[in-house]
A and B are shown apart, each in its own frame.
Chain A
């Protein structure tokens, strides 16, 4: 069964012909109350910015719900219709990207434990034969992060690479290092 999958290939240098669109970085529309802007840079193994990368994000809404049939808690009632859950941003010349979103609610893990608010991230670029998957956690959730079952499986010394840091003007900063001393934790999904 699973031997029939179509293999992954790189997005190459020219994905920007098709994939980005103007509202891509906006998981919520600009000006949404409580919106937070996450900025970051994507770095390669010698610390140079990756100027031809793409970041995609996927997350629950502020109440920790997904408008999706696989969410066993049923349809989202009275959800924010403008909430997209999905973000897509290409990196610029200096490797930087921006995602405008809201902090998702915590999520039931399915076994009685609770996942801290988090955003799933896919990283694509020329030179990446498959996406790399990581997660963004929030710095104002120390207790929830401490109890998070996914973070708990990450070696303690590397956990900070998954937690955004407060930045100027209420922004959050989440840099992604593909390699090096601060290599971001990437996941096997």
Chain B
């Protein structure tokens, strides 16, 4: 019997511990050092934007173990190829970003929305508040979205993003990165991260990348070059698996499945 079925029986019949009693999946807490602290002096903008009072423990109950399942009904437009959104081809190195979304138990996370945004090849975002004097590319917007397949797999085609200066400190430059936003299947699993590129000389001195205390955790934000996924005569490929918090219990099963 799955946990969902136990819960259903308990909730409906009240025979497994009384009316209104049920068991829900429990998503494991991240390890210390896996996520950045909310206040991080090296990234100056955190100073006035992080809670100072102690956080209050929020038990994972119905609102936390459920979450938006954004699919065709809400965000319908899939846009996995950022190089074909305009009349012409964008400038820059064409790349494929391919990977899987998994939970920490190694289980694929299917049907989950990934939203991405990034600079063009010159390191310029297409945004009204962006003032970096690098050229815009009329053929590149820098946004995409895909929904993972049944194996948790996803694939984008895009352009290698550039580095750009930012005002955090003297001569501060961000390593090239692609922003990624994920939902998983529960409010508890929500994640926004950045994918970096192997060998980027700016990684060791970037405060945002280095805000993650654990070195191995940091390394999990760096994609791997993949010659296997590289398409001959066409595009380089990077492999990037994304791991969300998982639960040991069968949260993904339909309550009524046999």
Contacts and interface: CB of A to CB of B under 8 A. Distances in A.
B74 interface: yes
A69 B255 contact: yes
Contact of B51 (A48, A75, A186): A186
Contacts of B211: 9, 129
A129 B51 contact: no
B34 A3 contact: yes
Interface residues of A, number: 78
Interface in B35-71: 35-38, 40, 43, 45-53, 55-70
Interface string A38-51: 00000011101010
* Residue of A45, A58, A84 with most partner-chain B CB within 10 A: A58
Interface string A69-101: 111111100000000111000000000000000
Contacts of B194: 9-10, 12
A120 B66 CA distance: 11
Contact of B63 (A19, A52, A60): A60
A157 B63 CA distance: 25
Interface stretch (B152-160, B178-186, B197-205): B178-186
A173 interface: no
Nearest to A47: B48
A108 B62 contact: yes
A138 interface: no
B212 to A, nearest CB: 4
B4 interface: yes
Interface stretch (A111-119, A139-147, A163-171): A111-119
B220 interface: yes
A-B residue pairs, 6 tightest by C-beta? A72-B7, A127-B45, A45-B48, A86-B68, A187-B58, A129-B36
Given A13-B130, A84-B74, 19 more contacts: A2-B29, A3-B216, A4-B220, A4-B243, A6-B221, A7-B217, A7-B218, A9-B209, A14-B127, A18-B144, A19-B181, A69-B254, A109-B20, A115-B61, A126-B45, A127-B50, A128-B50, A129-B37, A153-B56
